[in-house]
Amino acid sequence: MEKWPLGVFASIDAGLGVHLEVVKELGVPTIHLHAPSKASRTPEKASEFTAKLKKMGITISVVFGGFEGESYADIPTTAKTVGLVPPETRAARTAEMKEIADFARLLGVDIVALHVGFVPHDTSHQLYKDAVAVTQEICDHCKGNNQRLHLETGQESPEGLLQFHGDVDRDNLFINFDPANMILYGSGEPIEALKKVGKYVRSVHCKDATWADKPGEEWGAEVPLGEGDVGFENFLSTLKEIGYDGPLTIEREIPQEPARQKEEIGRGVKLLTELRAKIL
Ligand code: MG
């Protein structure tokens, strides 16, 4: 595969991201697929879907897990509802994440990813220990499938993420770096963070955002690629510096406005294509 192929976050019947028809229209060759609903996670659907993608000329690089009941409405809601950290939903979601990994294997995809949730900063906190244990459990399941697990960045500072990565201590655990999330959650300057965690970054989201007035307390704002505070020329130069050569996967979450979403992703494709030609 060429270096830095373009990608887009996509979904079939559930989850975030654009539909496949939009991916095709945009002429983007790779996707991060948000896991489809349970009803679609069957061997029959997997073959059907693989055939469809092949015909469209689209490759899945990562399958993302997501769960019912997750809400990114604001920072406290995200902490309470997202990922494997919340105790009430942990067992069911852990089982579901393993099913999602198995479905990814049926699709021939060797990377699964997720937002693990808000990991407490205090490493002696029970929730921290639980988060380490559940991530080990998912990693070990993925290992049995010859898969890697990528943690979505955003909630943790780069130091916190490195600490967590070290404590989980699994050789198939890597990072999906989302620079916009660092800004949205107020967890650190994204380029500096990328340099710090770079050796574990094996996939990225090209998403942009502007800082909140009170970072870490209020959400920043997600904006079209190139219009926020990430600085994509710098971001791509840093990806080159750390030796990253995987897909550049655009994520733009405004599913309520599909026409605008498609137009903005189209502009993102153009921007990344220009920057890639300049930097690579
Ligand atoms: Mg992301």
Q: How large is the average pLDDT for residues 178-202?
A: 97
Is 6-279 CATH 3.20.20.150? yes
Question: Ligand 1 centre from 12 Cα, in Å?
Answer: 17
pLDDT of the residue at 259: 92
Mean pLDDT computed over every residue of the chain: 95
Between strands 248-250 and 201-206, the pairing is: parallel
Q: Which amino acid type is present at position 61?
A: S
Question: Ligand 1 centre from 78 Cα, in Å?
Answer: 14
Burial 189-200 (b: 16+ CB within 10 A, else e): ebbebbeebbeb
Q: Please write the tens of the pLDDT for every residue from 229-267.
A: 999 999 999 999 999 999 999 999 888 899 999 999 999
pLDDT of the residue at 149: 98
Whether residue 228 has pLDDT greater than 70: yes
Question: Ligand 1 centre from 181 Cα, in Å?
Answer: 7
Question: Ligand 1 centre from 123 Cα, in Å?
Answer: 25
pLDDT of the residue at 42: 95
pLDDT of the residue at 1: 64
Question: Ligand 1 centre from 47 Cα, in Å?
Answer: 27
- Residue boundaries of the structural domains of the chain: 6-279
Between strands 221-223 and 208-210, the pairing is: antiparallel
Structure tokens given for 19: 């539909």
Q: Which pLDDT band, with edges at 50, 70 and 90, does 154 fall under?
A: confident
pTM of the model: 0.96
Whether residue 184 has pLDDT greater than 90: yes
pLDDT of the residue at 13: 80
Integer CA distances (angstroms), 176 to 8, 63, 150, 206, in order = 14, 11, 5, 11
Cα separation of 163 and 262, whole Å? 38
Percent of the chain whose predicted confidence (pLDDT) is above 90: 91
Question: Ligand 1 centre from 130 Cα, in Å?
Answer: 23
Question: Ligand 1 centre from 152 Cα, in Å?
Answer: 6
Question: Ligand 1 centre from 44 Cα, in Å?
Answer: 29
Question: Ligand 1 centre from 257 Cα, in Å?
Answer: 18
Question: Ligand 1 centre from 234 Cα, in Å?
Answer: 18
Least confident of 6-20, 116-130, 162-176, 180-194: 6-20
Question: Ligand 1 centre from 95 Cα, in Å?
Answer: 22
Question: Ligand 1 centre from 200 Cα, in Å?
Answer: 16
DSSP string, the chain: --SS-EEEEEESSSSSSB-HHHHHHHT--EEEEEPPPGGG-SHHHHHHHHHHHHHHT-EEEEEE---TT---SSHHHHHHHSTT-SHHHHHHHHHHHHHHHHHHHHTT--EEEE------S-TTSHHHHHHHHHHHHHHHHHHHTT-EEEEEPSSS-HHHHHHHHHHH--TTEEEEE-HHHHHHTT---HHHHHHHHGGGEEEEEE-EEE--SSBTTB--EEE-TTSSSS-HHHHHHHHHHTT--S-EEE----TT-HHHHHHHHHHHHHHHHHHHHHH-
Burial 23-56 (b: 16+ CB within 10 A, else e): beebebbbbbbbbbeeebbeeebbeebeeebeee
Neighbours of 259 (CB within 10 A): 7
Integer CA distances (angstroms), 209 to 13, 58, 159, 228, 236, in order = 27, 27, 21, 5, 16
